Structure 1
Amino acid sequence: MQSILTRALIAGFLLGGLACSRNPVTGKREVILMSKEQEIAIGQQSHPSVVASMGLYEDKKLQDFINEKGKAMAAISHRPDLPYQFYIVDSPVVNAFAVPGGYVYFTRGIMAHFNNEAEFAGVLGHEIGHITARHSARQQTSQLLGTLGAIGVAIAVPQLGESVMQGAQVLFLKYSRDHESESDKIGVEYSSKIGYNAVEMANFFGTIKRIQDNAGQAVPTFLSTHPDPGNRLTRVQGLAKEFQAANPRQYAVERDRYLRMIDGIVYGEDPKQGFVENNMFYHPVLKFQFPVPQGWKHQNSPEQFQMGAADGKSAMILMLAKGNSLDEAAQTMVKELNLKVLENGRTTINGNPALVIISQQQPQQQQQGQPQQQQSAQNTLQLATWLIQYNGGIYALHGLSSAADFNSRLNSFRSVAENFRALTDREKLNRQPERVQVVQAPRDGSFRDVMSALNMPSNRLEELGTLNSMRADDRVNRGMLVKVIQR
């Protein structure tokens, strides 16, 4: 008991020494472990990684638009002194996110799905709200203090330790949901203050819910870091109407102006970044191709292409290697990945010089006082790496599995690597992306009738409806602007 009291006194001393500051949004005093300067530094350090992993979407008129609205909103926010910056990243995913210190990002996917300026302004306000309310700093502090508390209970009452830690994890999810709800409220306030109808922000949550439902992505609300979009729609509608009743004025929507601005935006995956078709990955810009094993899942980004077996026991990653020669690339890889080389040799893959390296990742150095993990075939990562010199660059194609499964997976890895070759098919090399085209409805009728009149395929009606925030039977008047998808 004396030991427990001693620990409690030490914890109290540590917590008591933490600085309290007043939250700029809520006005409440709270413990925060991150200074304003640290927030700005995090944003500056994170930005290059965001750009490297997603790329920027180059569209001057859209960039000018988000800069104009972002600066206007930053000026009326609770923290106008931050160096805000706004970017559109080259991703088809419907998303927006913020990094501490004033960095706000919209994907081209979400820009394509907005149907007016007011929807955009609501999401912009939501993301700026995460920054002004210091949610990242508060989350970091809550996690640290919550973990300290859980560890303290686990020490005092060991039999409760596991359940307490699980409870702490659920609590952290709750913190995140609370932050999302707080940012929704801030988004209503900020977008309204720069003149937009925040009811449209609520309506965009209907689009998000529809995307989730169509993709089968819904999870129970109590296990999600974001509140359910349907619940958010209802709540934000109420907040918007409440704000407007207290602050009567004309609130803008600006549907047509926004739609004309996104006319021609790239929709979905951009082939120039690489695409998979008929179990083959093609990269038109870098001019190579290689097979994707049947049934494997895959994910592409500007930095690397990843694919994995359905059973989760093996994967392959393609990326650029570091080095000006095959030998230099091999030495750098072995050092950076902490590998123990088991075999290596030179070969040629479809006319391209290559190195083949079989290796295992060595265990990390254990910190003093921590027990050494017992190494086994099940917990040892084994790699088959092909370093391929092609078209002025060196590509690393890694096959990964546990050492226990490696021999049974090696033939799959080899089949992929040995079929890495130049892409010469002109149709693949010249593949163009799909784009959102904004056109006038040629007739009165239902949304379904209008899409049919515009020669849109019937099997994409729900996708087009989500993109336009319309249902199949919704009324469309002749001359009304609508989005279609064309290559």
Structure 2
Amino acid sequence: MKTYTFCYRSLAFIALFIASACARNPVTGKRELSLMSTEQELAIGKESHPSVVATMGLYEDKKIQAFMNEKGKAMANVSHRPELPYQFFIVDSPVVNAFAVPGGYVYFTRGILAHFNNEAEFAGVLGHEIGHITAKHAARSQKSQLLSTIALIGGAVLAPQVVGQNIEALQQGLGLLSLKYSRDHESESDKLGVEYSSKIGYDAHQMADFFGTLKRISENSGQAVPQFMSTHPDPGNRFSRVHELAKDYQAQHPASYRVEGDTYLRLIDGITYGEDPKQGFVENGQFYHPELRFQFPVPRGWQSQNSPSQFQMADKDGKSAMILMLAKGNSLDEASQNLVKELSLNVLESTKTTINGNPAYVLISRQQTQQQQGQPQQAQDPKTALQIGTWLIQYNNAIYALHGLSSAADFTNAFGTFKQVAGNFQSLTDPDKLNRKPERIQIKTAPRDGSFREVMIGLGMPASRVEELGVLNGQKADDRIARGKPVKVIAR
């Protein structure tokens, strides 16, 4: 009877909590569970912004920034949450991406800006990102994660012997459910992108065409994933759906919708394209960092990604990876102690050495699993335990941490590659690499009528980059280009 009373009171408390946490969504108009107030959204944005800037850096271009602020303010005014203090930023990354953080923070990479071909494409994606904020997708994702956890715990209470045997499958199933929530959010934001960009006068069909560009980028990178395993709907599916959304909106709201291709191309004339050499670049199997004046090899076939805060590379099968970052500390001893503490490492081996004349430490360690207070340390499964080989290298008044990561089971095979990379960390002295200038987008006019391929070659572009340039311009190699049409080329 006492147990029944306790459960009844607990359920009543949960019901009261859920009822009090319900709020009307500004986009859907429906009442729904919300565990994040507007004040919390603002706090998250304010707290996250410095991390975004530290990780990616800001790209300084007053003309493009002013344009983004102008269009962002106009779109915010017609959105479902015009009262938020929206802020818009360009981050210094070549990756084609845009994202939003709760509280009104919207970010475009210079990579995505280089790939837009008109103001309407820009406006559609800007509306999409503002849509994530107005529809409170961060709060709704938090809700879905909570409900998934409750469902899992509830199952364990009701039938522990069943859940215990199928816990991994249940967690995987709940994970796929979370992915579905994300795809639903993306689709809802696509609809809002059409609505918001149309309200400020742009043709949302151009937003759909940009998804064609994204699909080509995905296919050319070889990183396409099945739609059911992606947090974003397939770009090809979005291309068709957004065209339908734009068609329906324009049928209900007849007007003259703008594209503004030439004005946008003039705006981005000179924007940095691809990796900025001063932040480091990969060429002929080597990573070079001109500003920090060092280099080291990239294993054959490995993929890499660079940012202002770290350089990452990994083999294609995902069994091993390496990360370079600055270590915290004024000496190798201090850096080693900080590293072990911050990453909860169990050091198996440690050695002092030198690498091309630079003092260094080598640490072999495993990351300790979390355990409850008072419980004995459990043995880790070598198939899943993370083993790390770390080279701490003192160079030019800084200490760099070069981590090699793999499962404990694969570490012996991977260690030779890790050691070869770390052992070839050395000073960069080649003037060609030290003085390398970034590539930039330049706007030229087609010198004559012809195919896109003919026009590019006529403008001095190599045949090997025609597909890359086609993606940049939203053109296929055999598409016809009229004489005098502005096009993007790549130059230093």
Same fold (TM over 0.5): yes
Which residue of 312, 321, 342 corresponds with 1:315? 321
Give the CA deviation at 1:102. 0.6
CA contact (8 A) 1:147 1:165 kept: no
* Alignment CA distance shift 1:339-1:125 (3 Å): same
Structure 2 residue matching 1:251: 3-state secondary structure = coil
Give the CA deviation at 1:345. 4.5
Equivalent position of 1:134 in the other structure: 136
Equivalent position of 1:30 in the other structure: 32
Quick check: 1:389 aligned with 2:390?
no
Q: Number of paired residues?
A: 486
Equivalent position of 1:91 in the other structure: 93
Equivalent position of 2:151 in the other structure: 149
Equivalent position of 1:480 in the other structure: 485
Quick check: 1:427 aligned with 2:429?
no
Give the CA deviation at 1:348. 3.1
Equivalent position of 1:292 in the other structure: 298
Q: Which amino acid aligns with 1:82?
A: L
**Unaligned stretches of 5+ in structure 2?**
none
Equivalent position of 2:208 in the other structure: 202
1:58-88 Cα offsets, whole Å, 9 max, x none, are 1111111111111111122111121211111
Quick check: 1:464 aligned with 2:464?
no
Distance (Å, rounded) in 2 between the aligned partners of 1:217 and 1:479: 36
Which residue of 75, 78, 83 corresponds with 1:73? 75
Q: What is the CA RMSD across the aligned residues, in angstroms?
A: 2.6
Q: Which amino acid aligns with 2:40?
A: Q
Give the CA deviation at 1:395. 1.4
Quick check: 1:453 aligned with 2:458?
yes
Quick check: 1:40 aligned with 2:38?
no
For 1:202-221, what aligned pairs fall within 5 Å after superposition?
Answer: 202-221=208-227
1:133-166 Cα offsets, whole Å, 9 max, x none, are 0011011102211331243234324536545544
The alignment's TM-score, normalised by the length of structure 2, stands at 0.91
Quick check: 1:224 aligned with 2:224?
no
Distance (Å, rounded) in 2 between the aligned partners of 1:143 and 1:400: 29
Q: Which amino acid aligns with 2:297?
A: P
**Unaligned stretches of 5+ in structure 1?**
none
1:275-334 Cα offsets, whole Å, 9 max, x none, are 222222111111111122334333322111223345544433221111222332222223
Deviates more, 1:60-69 or 1:457-466: 457-466
Equivalent position of 1:186 in the other structure: 192
1:107-149 Cα offsets, whole Å, 9 max, x none, are 1111011000011001000100000000110111022113312
Distance (Å, rounded) in 1 between the aligned partners of 2:384 and 2:147: 32
CA contact (8 A) 1:118 1:253 kept: yes
CA contact (8 A) 1:358 1:382 kept: no
Deviates more, 1:337-346 or 1:236-245: 337-346
For 1:308-387, what aligned pairs fall within 5 Å after superposition?
Answer: 308-310=314-316, 312-352=318-358, 354-361=359-366, 363-368=368-373, 372-375=377-380, 380-387=385-392
Q: Which amino acid aligns with 1:188?
A: V
Which residue of 263, 282, 287 corresponds with 1:257? 263
Structure 1 residue matching 2:362: 3-state secondary structure = strand
Structure 2 residue matching 1:24: 3-state secondary structure = coil
* Alignment CA distance shift 1:372-1:12 (3 Å): farther
Q: Which amino acid aligns with 2:17?
A: G
Equivalent position of 1:111 in the other structure: 113
Structure 2 residue matching 1:17: 3-state secondary structure = helix
Q: Which amino acid aligns with 2:223?
A: Q
CA contact (8 A) 1:317 1:398 kept: yes
Q: Which amino acid aligns with 1:149?
A: A
Give the CA deviation at 1:407. 4.8
CA contact (8 A) 1:337 1:361 kept: no
Q: Which amino acid aligns with 1:128?
A: I
